[in-house]
Amino acid sequence: MSIALSLGNNLTTGGIFKPAAVNNTSVNNVTDFASVAGSSTLVLLSTQTASASASISFTSGIDSTYDEYVFKFISCHPASDGQYFTYNFSTDGGSNYNVTKTTTFFHAYHNEAGTDAGLFYDTGSDLAQSTSDQRSGGQVGADADQAVSGYLHLFQPSSTTYVKHFISSTNLAEQNNYSSNSRTTGYCNTTSAVNAVQFKFSGANIDDGIIKMYGLAKS
């Protein structure tokens, strides 16, 4: 009877818990919380740091353990000016990065002087059934304070039934002092498992930068 009265005193007439119903004491006495439906966790699988590196490749850990892999590239700086930061995929463990891709690409930009800005679809950066490296954005500058950061999501790379969808987004400091944001979406047009991913600049070493690979835990 006392438990029912206590519970009732902490409910509104509409059946909603009052703020006093949950406090530090009650939470501290809880020994376990049920998992939340739909929750997900990024699991860090690998970190690589560039140092005058021709490329950064992830050749292990991409398998059926996770349905989605996330790559975060952080302040990647090219060794020379005006470089595209690119990525490509492999189905043979990294022996070749030449998976056929079809993609779309759009680009927003704004210069430091505040005199030029725009948003457009970039037909020069999309791919149509091409094995070429995919550009992640515009041309990165090589000034000491210029770099590119962003992410790449790869979905179900181990599927042998469907093509492999991916989404990437970047922000970078361009060679001509523009801030630009680009978004690329597309798919690897193969039913073979994708098991390696490579990042590099189009014509220069990765002078500095960090790239991390995460797996998105299955619910």
The CB-side HSE value for 11 (13 A sphere, CA atoms) comes to 10
Q: What is the pLDDT of residues 36-94, one digit of tens each?
A: 444 569 999 999 999 999 999 999 999 999 999 999 999 999 999 999 999 999 999 99
**Residue 218: per-residue pLDDT:** 80
**27 pLDDT more than 80:** no
Q: What angle do CA 110, 182, 197 make, to 5 degrees?
A: 145
- pTM comes to 0.82
**Residue 73: per-residue pLDDT:** 98
- Write down the number of H helices and E strands in the chain: 2, 12
The DSSP-derived string for 50-66 is EEEES-EEE-SS-STT-
Q: What's the mean pLDDT in 157-169?
A: 98
**34 pLDDT more than 50:** no
**7 pLDDT more than 90:** no
DSSP-assigned beta bridge partners for residue 71: 152, 213
**Residue 4: per-residue pLDDT:** 47
Q: What is the pLDDT of residues 100-132, one digit of tens each?
A: 999 999 999 999 999 999 999 999 999 999 999
Domains and CATH numbers, the chain: 43-216 (2.60.120)
Q: What is the pLDDT of residues 191-209, one digit of tens each?
A: 999 999 999 999 999 999 9
Per-residue burial over 46-61, b = 16 or more CB atoms within 10 Å of its CB, e = otherwise:
eebebeebebbbbeee
CB of 143 closer than 8 Å to CB of 210: no
